[in-house]
Structure 1
Amino acid sequence: MRDLPTHEPPTHGLPAHGLPAHGLPAHDLPTYEDVLAAAERIAPHAHRTPVLRSRLIDEQTGARVLFKCENFQRAGAFKFRGACNALARLSPAQRRAGVVAYSSGNHAQAVALAAGLLGVPATIVMPHDAPAVKRAATEAYGGRIVAYDRDTEDREEIGRALAAERGLTLIPPYDHADVIAGQGTAAKELFEEAGELDALFVPLGGGGLLSGTALSAAALSPGCRLYGVEPEAGDDARQSLREGRIVRIGTPRTIADGARTRHLGALTFAILRSAAPEVLTVTDAGLVEAMAALAGVMKIVAEPTGCLGFAALRRTAGSLRGQRVGVIVSGGNVDLGRFATLLGS
């Protein structure tokens, strides 16, 4: 990975009260006002996760690094924020009928937990090879799992078919205005606690977390440079933003199972195209190194996907020296046996 550019801070191209739609009706896109509403809506249920620092990591990076630790969120990841917000907005009839979601794990757990808290039946479409810890948690929260093969079947088609057949409301993992607004509350909390930042590193799969973060950054820290970080094997977002269209790829082969997405959504693409974050990639080896560093230095257990942002920061070679830098650790749902194997490899 090359050093990060030292260009002037962007303004994201995002007005606080709306976004250019890039082909979508403006009213379809969430705004920071939606993030504020989501924060109030989920407050009775979601944790306000800690912002942690490490003197050693500051010395190693040359920056003042602030970690927003969503691995301590309910269901173990930021995904609970968006799922809770979306389900809380359902009508009484929709709540009675239930919801369906598709996910490799974190959105699955989040929807199942939020559904249980709000009294909503939940059906979850999960791949056969989903991490065992995530599947077990989804079932423990009350989700009914429908399994599929991620290499030969289309989870979105399965989800839409189940919604149509059973009268369920589909809650996708990232391409949903209420989900995006809910995810934006993580960065909102970070900026409220830490103040304005020079840069913020955010894991990037389908773009829900980065899109919500962009909304909060535009309102609370407009000079902050945003970096979305994908696994090297799945850089569909980087390709999409370069080409000005949604690029679809095959299922990425990476240990970052939460970022094995094949494309951005219409909403997330529109928001990210306006926000213009720099998109970086990291290798699986870099993710393992980041996991080990967080565990060894900060005593934090984070899953590979949750370490995307930190892995990119570790590779900046002092480009952010002296700056205030945020990192969102997006989740901690990793099987402990798998965790030990990866760190011991």
Structure 2
Amino acid sequence: MGDNRSMPTEPLITLADIHAARERIAGTCVRTGLYRLDPERMAAAGFDIPLHSEIWLKAENEQPIGSFKLRGAYNKVASLTDEERSRGVITYSSGNHAQGVAYAGRAMGAKAVIVMPESAPINKREATIALGGEVVFVGPASSERKEMAEELVAEHGYVMVPPYDDPYIIAGQATCGLEIAEQAADADLVLSPVSGGGLLSGVASGIKLSGSNAKVWGCEPELAGDATESFYKKELIEWPGNKTTRTIADGLRTQSLGERNFQHILKFVDGITTVTEEEILEATRVLLLATDIVPEPSGAVTLAAALFHSDRLPEAKKIVVVVSGGNIDPSLKQELLTAKA
């Protein structure tokens, strides 16, 4: 399914790059909490789902913008020269990276232009604008917003802050993996969402370069399963936008992994699996009703894999699942809170 592309080889990030990123983002990004999923609290909320492992939740919704995306965006903008920041920065994003770049731009006095799909959730659009982002809307495919951003770079001289395919973005996201290695040194398995691959490539790099023995797996919707196909075919596959936009996980609709991200994933990731839309929604409900974490569907794919597909995953006594963000559409949140358990 989809097109495949050849890939140039780029240098992988190093542990020194991750530590440098940690220093840049300190004081802006927070060291997010790690919380155990309580089986008794799940049962009390009406969920009859057997747990085969201890499950711990890395709550990236605690970041100032409600998503892990601030780590990479801030690291990239902070790495620019004063001259580059004076030209303004631009990115293309369905929502969370948009907020990250707008936040970083505002903090460092740089104009931030964001190319977003018209289908982006209203709450993410409004949050980006509230942070000072100048928003340009295009169609739903991730390829459309990338092309528009590149046109605006050529026209205005903005500096591109890619959503995932950039060493500073990967190193920023890798600080999440470094924290997990420190907070859960005895973890057997770490699960990360995957779309363009920024978070998965970063988390896996942080985990493995820190010396942890934990396995790292990616998780994505079946309806946007390009990363799974790419990983097992060992070639970069692109899915058409009319397929990846079907998933409710709006942050995971990217049509292909980034090239640098794919290289890191092939080096550091142990596997990728998919989950259904029903499993994503049920995992979102578990987080809403049986924890103190507010997730968006994109952030619940990891818990969906841990709850419903332990047979596909490596045997593990302790699993850390990255809940990548909490910017859920308010109407969906209300619908899930009132649904019968």
Does the TM-score normalized on the shorter chain lie above 0.5? yes
Which stretches in structure 1 are left out of the alignment for 5+ residues? 1-21
Q: Distance in 2 between matches of 1:51 and 1:342?
A: 24
**8 Å contact kept, 2:273–2:305:** yes
Residue matched to 2:90: 100
> What amino acid sits opposite 1:102 in the alignment?
Y
* Structure 2 CA distance for partners of 1:228 and 1:25, relative to 1, 3 Å: closer
**8 Å contact kept, 2:75–2:168:** yes
Residue matched to 2:130: 140
**8 Å contact kept, 1:85–1:179:** yes
Which secondary structure does the structure 2 equivalent of 1:307 belong to? helix
* Structure 2 CA distance for partners of 1:286 and 1:87, relative to 1, 3 Å: same
Deviation at residue 149 of structure 1 after TM alignment: 0.7
* Structure 2 CA distance for partners of 1:335 and 1:64, relative to 1, 3 Å: same
Q: Distance in 1 between matches of 2:143 and 2:321?
A: 34
Alignment match of 2:20 (pick from 18, 37, 48): 37
> What amino acid sits opposite 2:227 in the alignment?
A
Q: Tell me the number of residue pairs that the alignment of Structure 1 and Structure 2 aligns.
A: 322
Residue matched to 1:10: none
Alignment match of 2:185 (pick from 195, 198, 207): 195
Does residue 326 in structure 1 map to residue 311 in structure 2?
no
1:211-245 Cα distance to aligned partner (Å, 9 max, x none): 01111111235421111001110111111122222
> What amino acid sits opposite 2:19 in the alignment?
L
Alignment match of 1:337 (pick from 325, 331, 336): 331
Q: Distance in 2 between matches of 1:71 and 1:290?
A: 15
**8 Å contact kept, 1:197–1:221:** no
TM-score by length of 1: 0.89
Does residue 24 in structure 1 map to residue 9 in structure 2?
yes
Deviation at residue 152 of structure 1 after TM alignment: 9.5
Deviation at residue 341 of structure 1 after TM alignment: 2.5
Deviation at residue 275 of structure 1 after TM alignment: 1.9
Segments ≥4 residues shifted beyond 3 Å: 57-60, 316-322, 342-345
Q: Distance in 2 between matches of 1:54 and 1:343?
A: 18
1:304-343 Cα distance to aligned partner (Å, 9 max, x none): 0000100100013577776111110000001211222245
> What amino acid sits opposite 1:332 in the alignment?
G
Residue matched to 1:15: none
**8 Å contact kept, 1:61–1:321:** no
% same residue:
38
1:246-284 Cα distance to aligned partner (Å, 9 max, x none): 101012110000000100111011111122421110111
Correspondence list, 1:1-345, <5 A: 23-26=8-11, 29-56=12-39, 60-151=50-141, 154-251=144-241, 252=244, 253-317=246-310, 323-344=317-338
**8 Å contact kept, 2:58–2:322:** yes
Deviation at residue 344 of structure 1 after TM alignment: 4.5
1:45-80 Cα distance to aligned partner (Å, 9 max, x none): 111111111331799413222211001111000000
TM-score by length of 2: 0.90
> What amino acid sits opposite 1:159 in the alignment?
A
Which secondary structure does the structure 1 equivalent of 2:190 belong to? strand
Q: Distance in 1 between matches of 2:233 and 2:315?
A: 31
> What amino acid sits opposite 1:250 in the alignment?
P
Deviation at residue 166 of structure 1 after TM alignment: 0.5
**8 Å contact kept, 1:211–1:271:** yes
* Structure 2 CA distance for partners of 1:265 and 1:153, relative to 1, 3 Å: closer
**8 Å contact kept, 2:142–2:253:** no
Which stretches in structure 2 are left out of the alignment for 5+ residues? 1-6, 43-48
